[in-house]
Amino acid sequence: MRKKTLLAGFALMGALALTATGCAGTSGGDGADGGDGGDELITVGFAQTGSESGWRSANTESMKTAFSEENGFKLTFNAADNDPAAQIAAVRDFINQGVDAIVIAPIVEDGWDDVLQEAKDADIPVVLEDRTVTAPDDLYASWVGLDFRQEGVMAGEWAAENFGSEATNMVVLEGTTGSAPANERAEGFDEAVEGTSIEKIDSQTGDFTRDGGKTVMEGFLQKYGVDGIDLVYAHNDDMALGAIEAIEAAGATPGEDIKIISIDAVKDGMLALIDNKINFIVECNPLLGELAAGIVKDVLAGDTVEKTYFVTDESFTPEQAAEVIDSRLY
């Protein structure tokens, strides 16, 4: 599979548009003039996972802004509330509507073969954003997003460097079961800490939500006690923030009594990092809208596009987070 890495600075082009224009809602008005000076609007159906986290909200804002009437699009938006069956039904509805293109942030990797084949048979190109699928890659035009496995590797390398030489009991707050970020962030982290003294004593899904992270962490604390857990690896900031609540409720100090590593680098997570309640965060840039919109236009114009576009992520310690927090757009 061909890969093209995009610099993080280029990825922030969408963020600049986001701050300039604000959040655009679902576009309307058949035949209205688009951003190309009188051309008919491109109709796009966007199947989002839901609104489970701060990251997802920022991603949705970026997509709605990029696929606005001002940019030449008429967007039909659907958030499936993390229900894979509902998301597939939404995509079938887009096909029946006869949209020009479909963009999907797949909730889970499996189960997409049939509906993607239906879109292909209807000559409707599909662009994936954020998450991936296990379906054959000839069923979609392109994918743009982050390297989830590398995010896990970056988190694991920091853990190995800081805790790998001493016995460390770690619990994991997993993302949605079967999702690409949960699978790949786990694989990358495990690879990076292999052979160290870090032992994963438990792992459970919190579905990428703050409430889920809090509930799972409460269960871990009841099972192992504060003294039995040295490190938490959370697959996203919202679950890490939930874990912080549970740790504090148990009378312990997050970031000190129990260390926390997270992925996302959304505003609330970065603030917790600056407060030393989280010890290390790997970024996952949610501002993918401008890139996705550009790919859709290229595909419909018959231009050649890469199959895979990776956006580069950064990582932050508390000191590094404090230096950049005022300039960040999410």
pLDDT tens-digit readout, 58-95 = 999 999 999 999 999 999 999 999 999 999 999 999 99
pLDDT higher than 80, residue 253: yes
More confident residue, 54 or 308: 308
Instruction: Encode pLDDT of 268-311 as tens digits.
Output: 999 999 999 999 999 999 999 999 999 999 999 999 999 999 98
Average pLDDT over residues 150-161: 98
pLDDT band at 4 (very low <50, low <70, confident <90, very high): very low
CA–CA gap between residue 86 and residue 79 (Å, rounded): 9
pLDDT band at 330 (very low <50, low <70, confident <90, very high): confident
- The amino acid at residue 136 is P
At 82, list the tokens: 């993390």
pLDDT higher than 60, residue 37: no
CA–CA gap between residue 31 and residue 15 (Å, rounded): 28
Q: Within the chain, how many helices (H) and strands (E) appear?
A: 12, 13
CATH architecture assignment, domain 4-147+285-313:
3-Layer(aba) Sandwich (3.40)
The pLDDT > 70 percentage for the chain reads: 88
Q: Which residues of 307-324 are buried (b: 16+ CB within 10 A; e: fewer)?
A: ebbbbbbebbebebbeee
pLDDT higher than 80, residue 33: no
- Domain residue limits, the chain: 4-147+285-313, 148-283
pLDDT band at 7 (very low <50, low <70, confident <90, very high): very low
The pLDDT > 90 percentage for the chain reads: 85
pLDDT higher than 90, residue 30: no
CA–CA gap between residue 303 and residue 140 (Å, rounded): 15
C-alpha dihedral (320, 60, 73, 4), degrees to nearest 10: 50
Looking at 13-111, list the stretches that DSSP marks H as alpha helix, in order from N- to C-terminal side: 13-21, 54-66, 84-97
The whole-chain average pLDDT of the chain stands at 90
| Residue 82 main-chain phi, psi, to 5 deg | 60, 35
pLDDT band at 34 (very low <50, low <70, confident <90, very high): very low
CA–CA gap between residue 216 and residue 203 (Å, rounded): 9
| Lookup result for tokens 């001493």 | 166
DSSP per-residue string spanning 143-185: EEEE-HHHHHHHHHHHHHHHHTTS-EEEEEEE-STT-HHHHHH
Residue 10 confidence (pLDDT) = 37
Average pLDDT over residues 167-180: 97
Q: Which residues of 148-165 are buried (b: 16+ CB within 10 A; e: fewer)?
A: bbbbbbbbbbbbbebbbe
CATH architecture assignment, domain 148-283:
3-Layer(aba) Sandwich (3.40)
